[in-house]
Structure 1
Amino acid sequence: MSVRPNLTREDWIHAAQQVLVKGGVDAVRVDTLAKELNITRGSFYYHFKSRNELLEGILGGWRTRATEDVILHLSDAQTTPQQQLQRLMELPLHGQTAKEAAAIELAIRAWARRDEHARQAIDEVDRYRLSYIKGLLLQAGVEAQDASDRAYLIYAYQISLSLLNNNEPAGERLSRNTRLAELLVPTAQRA
Structure 2
Amino acid sequence: MLNIKDIFSVTLILFSVIDILGSIPVIIALRKREGHIHSLRATIISGVLMILFLYLGQSILKLFNLDVGSFAVAGAIIMFILALEMILGITFFQEDHGSKGTGSIVPLAFPLIAGAGTLTTILSIRVVYETPNILIGILLNLVFVFIVLKSTDWLERKLGSSGFSILRRVFGIILLAIAVKIFKENIFVS
Q: TM-score, normalised by structure 2?
A: 0.32
Kindly name which structure, 1 or 2, has the bigger radius of gyration based on alpha carbons.
Answer: 1
Q: TM-score, normalised by structure 1?
A: 0.32
